[in-house]
Amino acid sequence: MPVLYSFRRCPYAMRARMALLAAGIVVELREVVLRDKPAALLAASPKATVPVLILGDGTVIDQSLEIMVWALAEADPQQWLTPQSGDLDDMLVLIAQNDGPFKNHLDRYKYASRYDGADPAFHRQQAEKILNRLDGRLAVGKYLYGTRPALADYAIAPFIRQFARIDPEKFDALPFAHLQRWLHDMLQSPFFANAMTRYAQWHDGDKPVLLQATAPITSDIQPQAGW
């Protein structure tokens, strides 16, 4: 059985867990406390960040997006890899903008004290420019690539959630009605709800705990006109 080292509040780990749940892949979940990382995690991946997935043959996948794509290549009943509009390459470009520029500004807005000279107000403004472009996309379709959610939606939503939670009142006051509606819908997804189940910290020798749905999962695929 694959083993997933995870941390509940990490947006990278969130999206990996959602993809594994969507693919129906059962894994042993090992919840990590970041200030007390287990030796087994450090041995598997020297980068020492979550998520880390160890397959049954010993292969280590320690990038969250790679975990998502691997899981969905195994099984993709929700059609996350085949959006209604665009294709996987299109989605990967948008996800790269999130994982690069947006995450850079998000970190310097939320954790300004960790970065010398970081101005949180400036980085918030720059992040909002990126959110404005997402809002424009969502004015055209209910989700980022059409009328049903796909890989890009699930890969990006945890980071928008993190931004929104820094100052909810400011986020709600932004003129981004489409983005706010989309985030609300994404956080109501059964995949997000199940991915956010709480687990106790894992210690070597503990009885295996499986990542599995604790609430009903129904399809997120929404019928289109003419279906």
Instruction: Kindly report, residue by residue over 75-130, the tens digit of the pLDDT.
Output: 999 999 999 999 999 999 999 999 999 999 999 999 999 999 999 999 999 999 99
The full set of domains in the chain, from first to last, is 3-77+191-211 (3.40.30.10), 88-189 (1.20.1050.10)
Closest Cα to residue 8, out of 199, 160, 193, 183?
199
Between residues 225 and 19, the one the model is more confident about: 19
The DSSP bridge pattern shows strands 52-54 and 3-6 to be antiparallel
Quick one: pLDDT at residue 223? 38
The two tokens of residue 219 are: 């399809």
Quick one: pLDDT at residue 212? 80
pLDDT in tens, 154-201: 999 999 999 999 999 999 999 999 999 999 999 999 999 999 999 999
Predicted structure pTM score: 0.93
DSSP code for 2: -
Query: For residues 116 and 123, is the Cβ–Cβ distance under 8 A?
Result: no
Q: Which residue has the tokens 């980068």?
A: 47
**What band does 215 get if pLDDT is binned at 50, 70 and 90?**
low
Phi, psi of 199 (to 5 degrees): -130, 150
**CA-based angle 136:131:135, to the nearest 5?**
20
Quick one: pLDDT at residue 218? 62
pLDDT in tens, 33-89: 999 999 999 999 999 999 999 999 999 999 999 999 999 999 999 999 999 999 999
Q: Which residue has the tokens 């970190």?
A: 107
- Checking if the pLDDT of 214 tops 70, the result is no
C-alpha–C-alpha distance, residues 168 and 157, integer Å: 15
C-alpha–C-alpha distance, residues 189 and 195, integer Å: 10
